[in-house]
Chain A
Amino acid sequence: MRRTAPGEDKAGWQLSRRYNWLLIAPAFFLLVFFLWPLMRVVVRSFVDPAPGLANYQAILASPVYLRVLYNTVETAAVVTLLCLLIGYPIAYVMARAQGVKLRIVAALVVIPLWTSVVIRSYAWMVVFQRRGVLNEGIGTVMALFGESHTPIQFLPGALAVHVGMVHIMLPFMILPLVASMRNIDRRLMRAAGVLGADPIQSFLRVFLPLSLPGVSAGSALVFMMSLGFYVTPALLGGPRHMMSAVLIEQQANQLLNWGLASALATLLLLVTLAIYAVHARISGVGLAGAGGRA
């Protein structure tokens, strides 16, 4: 409605109303195949196998399930933090790079993104196995010094899960960071330099604060996607490092306990939505940056 600005006449108004109708097909599709299934999950968590809160009580009463929920949030937080620490310098280099250097860095960031998640997790399994790349590598080096190496038990383990997940999430951190860093006006840094700030100061006082929108977008994205991870923790993590998605799949597919699976899924849904909402509030827009016509 703000579109009826001066210069846009009645025809424009009618045209934009015509465009509104186009939302019907996607909206219907989402209603039937997205919102309706989600509704069913939520409802099922309260009625299967009997109406009531039994599924939620079972979760709250079980140290195993609570640990999985806690573990899910903790893992997502650790992965987000690691992605930020590793991704920020890469993004910094990428945002300043030009020409061939930019292309090489961009390719190295994007190629993993296009490599199947299942395949990458499998590769990490090969790396971390008892007789895998890492242990054999250490063994070879130790042998040079005449020492023997007892294979370290990486699998199943938190280290392998973190390494595997950070690898998958890193591009999702780097790309929003680069986008926001590229928007930073170079002249501001130069101005800071003219005013006597050394490069470290101008980075801390000017560049870093201006890159915070990217930090926030990247972190929210990584955290949310990490919450729902299945492949990596299922393959590399044991029962002690189980995450919610693995537990939900197990409850539904292997134990046929759909009510409990639905309750766990509902909790996961709530946590994800909460983070989405907090992020949207902080940054003022949805992650898609949609709706912001400014």
Chain B
Amino acid sequence: MSGSTVPNPSKMSRRSLLAAGAAASATIVAPTILRAQAKPSQLVVATGGGKLDDAYKASVFKAFTEKTGIAIVTTANPAAKLKSMVEAKAVEWDLMQGPAEDFIVHGRNGLFEAIDYGVVNKAPLIPGAAYEHFLLTDIAAYHIAWNTKNLKGPAPKSWADVWAYQGRIGLWKRPFQTLEVALLADGVPIDKLYPLDVERGLKSLDKVKAKLAWWERGAQGGQVFIDGEVDVGAIWNGRVHEPKLNGAPVDFHFNQAVLVNDAWGIPKGAKNLKWSMELMALNMTAPVQAAYSRLIPYGPTNKEALALLDAKTIANLPSVEADFSKGRLLDLAFWADNSSKTVDRFNKWLLG
């Protein structure tokens, strides 16, 4: 109480003493002290792990650390943890990567800080990449894949073939993307997917329930195909592209692929907001996006990045410009309005 009415003299004198000491000390030391106060030594970024993590580390994180001296530590990105951290006001993550379909809901639920478009330049981004609370950072393909050692008979050409396969089918344990391919397997034309018929999609999944082996995180998903834990199924192209080139017994194609986006958002109450935003901005720049696409075959959301890539790299990228007429882009607008209730419905279905 007394401290609020009268300026605390002892505190004042100590502070001024400190200031005097700092001023008196060598000018070489002073800047580093100031910088150390303003800047955290590291930022924590929650990601999907595995190959994605490797690609971030070698592109955007590396560039950020070189630019600012701040190290990046990565950790797993379960959505529940975001919620509990924000609600407990003990936020550990400075930034989070995850599926755009989830992020729309998180944004609405107040779990994310608003993006500062004074810091993040959205001019060069593809249309629809910049949202109030998050940014779309890349374009990936959720496509048909199989383990070549396990596969018996011809490779599946369509999702209907995947559904008909006698063996273990690996799918992502989330409604997004998985319901899309379930409907494609059930014969829904690819241009008539939306609005999704959720119940029909679940009925389609019912038909293969006994054969399903869910994977929950991207890194795990790639591995179950590579290790042969599953025979056929769906995975993102970045998880199996490089292993295939390195001789892992895995193959895939883009027929009937669903093009999807990774998103980045900043948890509400993140402790180093300024630096989180800087990292976000850096990740949207063309050189960084190009470096990322060279490391993992996910297309950039910065239009200028494509110009920095050679034809060979571009050929492997799912992108809006490339010829992906055999597949289609996921309709984020549908999920924006239906994500919450579909997630509930899907989770109930899982238990039943």
Contact = CB atoms under 8 A, between A and B. Distances in A.
A129 B351 contact: no
A131 B80 contact: no
A130 B228 contact: yes
* Interface size bracket, B side: 10 to 19
Contacts of B228: 129-131, 151
A202 to B, nearest CB: 52
A130 B170 CA distance: 14
B190 to A, nearest CB: 32
Interface in B210-268: 227-229
B328 interface: no
Contact of A129 (B83, B84, B168, B229): B229
Contact of B80 (A64, A153, A155, A255): A255
Interface in A82-105: none
Interface string A250-265: 0001111000000000
12 contacts: A129-B227, A129-B229, A130-B150, A130-B168, A130-B228, A130-B229, A151-B150, A153-B168, A253-B78, A254-B78, A255-B80, A256-B80
B85 to A, nearest CB: 11
Contact of A256 (B83, B150, B351): B83
Give the interface centre of B78, B150, B229 by most chain A CB atoms within 10 Å.
B229
Nearest to B249: A131
Contact of A131 (B78, B83, B227): B227
Contacts of B84: 253, 256
**Interface of B, helix, strand, loop or mixed by DSSP:** loop
Interchain residue pairs A-B with the least CB separation, the first 6: A131-B228, A254-B80, A130-B229, A256-B84, A130-B228, A256-B80
A131 B150 CA distance: 9
Interface of B: 78, 80-81, 83-84, 149-150, 168, 227-229, 351
B267 to A, nearest CB: 15
Interface in A35-94: 64
B63 to A, nearest CB: 33
Interface of A is mostly: loop
A155 B168 CA distance: 12
Given A253-B78, A256-B80, 8 more contacts: A129-B229, A130-B168, A131-B149, A131-B150, A131-B228, A253-B80, A253-B84, A255-B80
Nearest to A255: B80
Contact of B81 (A131, A151, A155, A253): A253
Contacts of B150: 130-131, 151
Contacts of A153: 168
A255 B351 CA distance: 14
Contact of B351 (A64, A130, A254): A64
B80 A130 contact: no
Contacts of B83: 256
Contacts of B229: 129-131, 155
A254 B78 CA distance: 7
B330 to A, nearest CB: 25
B5 to A, nearest CB: 37
A255 B84 CA distance: 10
A155 B84 CA distance: 31
Contacts of A129: 227-229
Interface in A115-154: 129-131, 151, 153
Contacts of B78: 253-254
Nearest to A126: B227
Contacts of B168: 130, 153
Nearest to A257: B80
A254 B350 CA distance: 15
Interface string A15-52: 00000000000000000000000000000000000000
A187 to B, nearest CB: 58
Contacts of B149: 131
B227 A130 contact: yes
